[in-house]
Structures are given as structure tokens and as C-alpha cells.
């Protein structure tokens, strides 16, 4: 990595971001000077790679993928294609969606882990078809109409404290968790943390997926409610609380983000449940009105090609989907380790149902009923 690879302001800012441990969201004034948007950009981080050739071709990527995870990919891509002047902006999933609706001709590539929202946009015809030898070879269950491409494989995991496991035995599945919550609900009061499906989009997405997978999910929700489970909005607040020892169990943590944190703290263990584990795949598409479609095409090609996928695999966090890659950090290795339980969310119109407003309200009210009824019901039992 050399300094000259980055615009100096971005580099300094990025350094700051890395030092802050990804917690802070920095949007420098310098970054916003580069363009003249109709509306101010939502809060975001930005990285910039200046073109090394005289006539640089701009490439603007809007993503919901934290910069430290994107950095190895961007560096490698820039080294292979130095003619591109890359601007990478990282938003929250909802912001990246809203920003696209506000300015559909701004970004060349849109990346997000919010699969239903990405699917909604592409279904409505906002993406252009990318047909290259690479995209044609891409597995058909990881692409939709050559417009929407999944390029990572990230299981949703549990993070448990080793101290708890020493007391109560190993927790390896949802069934283990349910029986533990039922048996030890008093001991676990306030010691479990998960996404709030009401205020966190990811939490809602996982809830609707799990409720589709098994009706026993509602037993789990009720048990979580009885254990007075803490509801938070971000993976990082869950991981922070787990690292601090405030929580014993983190349920439904994005595995790609948990891996590093768990490796850093020996008191925690990451569990990919062996009965079932949701898998989300980050989705990328090229907007129909992308200002630099050929640059976008090249980037998608890179992302799905063996170079980009190898970088993803070697970073060992996002999970490379490329069918020919194997070894640590690939979907193939994960599938071998968990031959039965992996449940990747399919790229299908079912995702649209997730976004149905009435459906959302129905699910959330059921969820809250199951979650809170038990608390309200407790005194009844006690009476």
C-alpha cells in the first residue's frame, strides 16, 4: 500500500476511521466538495482512489459495506485497473436505498446487504443487464436476470461467551438456545442481545426469514421475551456489549462482522448454528442511468471474477461465492462444514413480500405480541 494510491484527504480520514475502530461515521467537507448533489449526501464514509493515468475514468460506488471490508477489493481493483478514478461511499443500508431513489443517475455500482430492498429496485427495472463471460459463468442462484449479482456469502451467527458455555454446556443450535432460554430464563435475564426487528431493518429481515423457515421461531421469540432480551440496532453495539461482558449471548449477529471481534476477544465464541443458519449475500447492481457504465461493468466483472473473489476469500470475512474457489473464507468450505443448515436467502420475488407494508405491520405486531406477552403474562402465572 503506498500513499500515492489515495487522495491524501481520504487517506487521512480513512486512517482516522480505522483508528476509531469503525465506530465513527466521518463525512469530511472535502469529500462533499467533489460533487454538487441536489440534496446533501446522507452521512457516509468515503474513500477515493485517484486515477494513475492522465485521463482517468470516474467510477462511483455507493455501498452498504464498511470501508475496512471493501478496502482490499478496491486496492486490488485499482492496482489492476489504474485508469479508474474511484469514489467509494459507504452508507447505511436504508440510506444507500434512499440515495439511489433520490439520485438514480449518480452511482455506477450500488452494493447493499439489504437484499429485499436491492431486489425491489432491480425488479422495478432500475438496473441494466450485464452480460459478460464472467457473469454468464456465475452460478444462477447467485444472480437474477444478469442484473443483480450476489458476491458474498455471510452467515448469520450467534456469539456466546465461553464462560456461559462452561456452566451450561455447548450451544450449537437454535434448539440448544431455546432449551437454555426455557431452563435458565432467570439466570439469563438481560444477558441476551439481538437485533430489534422494529427499529433495525436487518432485524426485521432476519425475523421474517426465520418465521418462514419454522413455526418454532415464535417459541424462540417468546423465550427471548421471557429472558428480557435486550434489543439493539447495530451489530457493533451487540459485539461491543459482548466484548465488555455485559451480554452472554448475541443472537443473529452478522458473521462477517463478528469474526474479527471474536478473534480479538478470547472470552467469546462464534457459533454457526448447525440446525439452520441464515446466510445473506451482498447484492450489487449497475443502475440503468449509471454515468460510467463501462467502468461499472469492469468492476462487476472484477467482483465476480476469480481475482476479486480470491481477495474476498483471503480477507476471510465476507465469504467468496465463486464456485471454483475453495479453502478458508469461501462458501464452498462453509457448505462443507455445515452441509445441512445453511439457508441462503433466495433471489426470488418472495423478497418483495418482505417489503409489503401490511406484511411488515402484521409480522411486527405478532413479534411484539409474542415477545411482550410473556412479560405481561408472568405476573399472571405468579398470581
Partner 1 sequence: MRGDSLHSRLLTWLLLPMLLVGTVVLWRAWLDARQTADRAFDRLLDAATLAIAEQAQWQEDRLWLDLPPAALEMLATQHDERVFYRLVDARGDHVTGNADLPGIDLSGRRASDMGYANISWNGMPMRLGVRRSRLEDWRLREPYEIRVAHTLEGRDALSQELFRQSLAYLLAVAVLSVAALIVAIRLALEPLTKLRRQIRSRDPRTLAPLELALPRELAELRDTVNELLARMRRVKANQERFIGDASHQLRTPLAGLSARAELALRQTDPQAWRTALSAMHATSQGASRLAMQLLSLTRLDNPEYQPQLTPTGLVQVAREAVMTHWQRCQRSGVDLGLDAPEGEVTVLALDWQLGEALANLIDNACRYGARHVTIVVTDTPPTLSVVDDGPGIPSERRLLALRPFHRGQQSGEGSGLGLAIVDGIARTHGARLTLADGGTAPSPGLSVSMEFQATVTPDDPPVTTRHSLS
CA 174 – CA 302 distance, rounded (Å): 37
At closest approach, how far in Å is the CB of 39 from partner 1? 23
Q: For residue 279, what are the β-bridge partners?
A: 155, 344
Q: Pairing between strand 342-344 and 277-280?
A: parallel
Cβ atoms within 10 Å of 228's Cβ, excluding its own:
15
CA 154 – CA 340 distance, rounded (Å): 16
* CB-nearer residue toward partner 1: 125 or 133: 125
Cβ atoms within 10 Å of 382's Cβ, excluding its own:
6
Is residue 325 within 8 Å of residue 309, measured between CB atoms?
A: yes
At closest approach, how far in Å is the CB of 294 from partner 1? 23
At closest approach, how far in Å is the CB of 103 from partner 1? 19
* CB-nearer residue toward partner 1: 101 or 163: 101
Give the SS3 label for residue 348. coil
Q: Which residues bind partner 1 (CB under 8 A)?
A: 123-125, 144-145, 212, 348-354, 356-359, 362
Where on the phi/psi map is residue 16: left (φ > 0), alpha (ψ -120 to 50), or beta?
alpha
Q: Pairing between strand 84-90 and 45-49?
A: antiparallel
DSSP 244-276: HTS-SEEEEEEHHHHHHHHHH-TTEEEE--SS-
Characterize 323-337 residue by residue with b for buried, 16 or more Cβ atoms within 10 angstroms of its Cβ, and e for exposed. eebeeebbbbbbeee
CA 176 – CA 18 distance, rounded (Å): 36
Amino acid at each position: 500500500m503506498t500513499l500515492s494510491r489515495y487522495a491524501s484527504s481520504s487517506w487521512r480520514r480513512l486512517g482516522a476511521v480505522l483508528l476509531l475502530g469503525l465506530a465513527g461515521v466521518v463525512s469530511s467537507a472535502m469529500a462533499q466538495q467533489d460533487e454538487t448533489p441536489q440534496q446533501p449526501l446522507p452521512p457516509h464514509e468515503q474513500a477515493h482512489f485517484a486515477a494513475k493515468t492522465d485521463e482517468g475514468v470516474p467510477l462511483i460506488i455507493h455501498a452498504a459495506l464498511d470501508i475496512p471490508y471493501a478496502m482490499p477489493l478496491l486496492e486490488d481493483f485499482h492496482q489492476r485497473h489504474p485508469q479508474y478514478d474511484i469514489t467509494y461511499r459507504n452508507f447505511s443500508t436504508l440510506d444507500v436505498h434512499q440515495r439511489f431513489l433520490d439520485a438514480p443517475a449518480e452511482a455506477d455500482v450500488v452494493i447493499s446487504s439489504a437484499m429485499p430492498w436491492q431486489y425491489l429496485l432491480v425488479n422495478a427495472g432500475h438496473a441494466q443487464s450485464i452480460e459478460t463471460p464472467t457473469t454468464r459463468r456465475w452460478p444462477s442462484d447467485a444472480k437474477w436476470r444478469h442484473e443483480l449479482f450476489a458476491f458474498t456469502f455471510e452467515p448469520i451467527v450467534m456469539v456466546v461467551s465461553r464462560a456461559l458455555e462452561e456452566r451450561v454446556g455447548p450451544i450449537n443450535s437454535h434448539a440448544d438456545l431455546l432449551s437454555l432460554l426455557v431452563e435458565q430464563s432467570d439466570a439469563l435475564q438481560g444477558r441476551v442481545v439481538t437485533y430489534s426487528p422494529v427499529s433495525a431493518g436487518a432485524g426485521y429481515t432476519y425475523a421474517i426469514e426465520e418465521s418462514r423457515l419454522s413455526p418454532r421461531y415464535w417459541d424462540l421469540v417468546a423465550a427471548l421475551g421471557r429472558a428480557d432480551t435486550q434489543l439493539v440496532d447495530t451489530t457493533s453495539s451487540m459485539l461491543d456489549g459482548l466484548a465488555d461482558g455485559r451480554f452472554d449471548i448475541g443472537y443473529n449477529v452478522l458473521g462477517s462482522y463478528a469474526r474479527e471481534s471474536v478473534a480479538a476477544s478470547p472470552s467469546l465464541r462464534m457459533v454457526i448454528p448447525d440446525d439452520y443458519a441464515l446466510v445473506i449475500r451482498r447484492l450489487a447492481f449497475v443502475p440503468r442511468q449509471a454515468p460510467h457504465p463501462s467502468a461499472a461493468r469492469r468492476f462487476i466483472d472484477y467482483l465476480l471474477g476469480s481475482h476479486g473473489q480470491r481477495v474476498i476469500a483471503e480477507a476471510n470475512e465476507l465469504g467468496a461465492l465463486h464456485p471454483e474457489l475453495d479453502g478458508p473464507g469461501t462458501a464452498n468450505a462453509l457448505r462443507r462444514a455445515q452441509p445441512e443448515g445453511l439457508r441462503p436467502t433466495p433471489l426470488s420475488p418472495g423478497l418483495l413480500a418482505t417489503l409489503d407494508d401490511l406484511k411488515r405491520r402484521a409480522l411486527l405486531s405478532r413479534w411484539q405480541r409474542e415477545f411482550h406477552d410473556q412479560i405481561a403474562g408472568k405476573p399472571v402465572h405468579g398470581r
